[in-house]
Amino acid sequence: MCLIWWNNFNINQPLLWNRELNTLWHGIVNITKCEICLLYIHRFSRIAKEGGWIVAGQIASVVGSFVLLRVLTEYIDPAQYGQLALGLTVAGLINQVVMGGVIAGISRYYPIACEKSDLYGYFQASVQIMAYATLAVATLGTILLAGLYWFDHVQWIGLASAALIFSVFSAYNAALSSIQNAARQRAIVAFHSSLDSWLKIVLAVAAIRWIGSSSTAVVIGYTVSALLVSSSQFLFLNKLVHSEVQMKNTADNWRKQMWLYSLPISTWGIFTWAQQASDRWALQRCASTDLVGQYAVVFQLGYTPIMLATGLATTLLGPVLFQKSGDATNQQRIANVQSLSWRLVYLCLGLTLLAFLFAMGTHRWIFSLLVAPVYRSVSYLLPWMLLAGGLFSAGQLLGLKLLCDLKPHAMIWPKIFTAILGVALNILGANIAGLPGVVIAAILFSSIYFLWMCILNFGSIYNPRNIK
């Protein structure tokens, strides 16, 4: 400031020292500009490097999931594939209701712990909260298995048991991966993501050959894969923990903060799980297990890829958004995150439109390449499932903005209401039109969910200025 004042005060003076001062000032300005340019170049190169790892990992994961789909549809028939889809809803229940909220809290508070120089306390709290969640899963699992036995559904006990164990190991894998991703250890995340996809293929086929062709054998293969990948994740994370063990330990109660953050997510988790599982169970009730298997294939080829593509953006930019938001008390940081979030939404909608148009002309070719002939009669539903997945993904990106602001409770009622509506639409669609009806229900649900997330970000229901 002194240099600026002297420069302006003496700008018209013909003194030699004034010219020298001007020269010195312009030199300082040029140096500052160079430093700013170097800072932006460094940030861009870091994001480009991280993005390269994430893209490579996602491509390997997507290719692995397609190969897995092709292999499984050759080994098991639509009825068995339908049983697999129904059995995995048990794992979905655990992840949505118990583990999902906990993992979200662990991921969100990592950058805050970094800013407060208390990663050691954060890691201790993360271990404790995951232990409590595992105990809750064991309790729920025991009740579920006892219920199956009591109501004489013994044939489902083996599949349900395998799905429960798989849900625990996959949740630990997701939690460890979320910490590594929050720490921006992109290469490690990409490696384990692709490793899990390809291990599932090998181990599922091995289990089928060893146990026999069944949905339970496939889930056992998934479980072993999740166990191996989680063990590898733990070894890598252990190095990160030891590198931060000397950091100071503040009095912040990380466990309480993460639990309060996770509670709304777990609250709506039961409803979102019901919506996600009701399509398969509605088809099972109103049609047949074969139709559930065909629907599961359409879902995996249409809904899942667009979610993975969106996951690519959130995996790369989610930690960046969390770091930019910090503890969500700075209005300028909040505004910057808001702008970036909407750019991601526009990109997602554009990709969805392109994918929809592409699938309209190529759905038969895609099914002939990726699934066995017995599943190909429902290929015409692929573009519409892509549309449903894209709209839901756009809504999830808008929800990410609310999570950045440490306001997950703002989404409780939208999540619960749209989930209940989605369950009703799935049941109605399955009763009226079978498989096409469920796909239409998915489009309607995703559209309503996306519009409500837009209202939360635009309207008076959620106002960033209310953040304290």
pLDDT, tens digit, 9 for 90 and up, residues 139-150? 888 988 898 889
pLDDT, residue 137, reads 87
pTM score: 0.73
pLDDT, residue 419, reads 92
- Is pLDDT above 50 for 211? yes
pLDDT, residue 399, reads 81
Three-class SS state of 54: helix
d(CA 111, CA 261): 14
- Residue 10: pLDDT band by 50, 70, 90 thresholds? very low
- Residue 424: pLDDT band by 50, 70, 90 thresholds? very high
pLDDT, residue 125, reads 86
Contacts of residue 206, defined as CB under 8 A and 6 or more positions apart, other chains included, come to: 221
d(CA 387, CA 446): 9
- Is pLDDT above 60 for 43? no
pLDDT, residue 9, reads 42
pLDDT, residue 312, reads 65
pLDDT, residue 340, reads 76
Please compute the mean of the pLDDT values over residues 229-236 and round it to a whole number. 88
- 447-456 per-position pLDDT tens digit: 999 999 888 8
d(CA 170, CA 234): 13
Query: Do residues 106 and 172 make contact, with C-beta atoms less than 8 angstroms apart?
Result: no
Three-class SS state of 148: helix
Average pLDDT, the chain: 79
pLDDT, residue 468, reads 36
8-state DSSP, 410: G
- Is pLDDT above 70 for 200? yes
d(CA 397, CA 337): 12
pLDDT, residue 442, reads 95
pLDDT, residue 320, reads 65
Contacts of residue 376, defined as CB under 8 A and 6 or more positions apart, other chains included, come to: 364, 367, 368
- 256-282 per-position pLDDT tens digit: 888 888 888 888 788 888 888 899 989
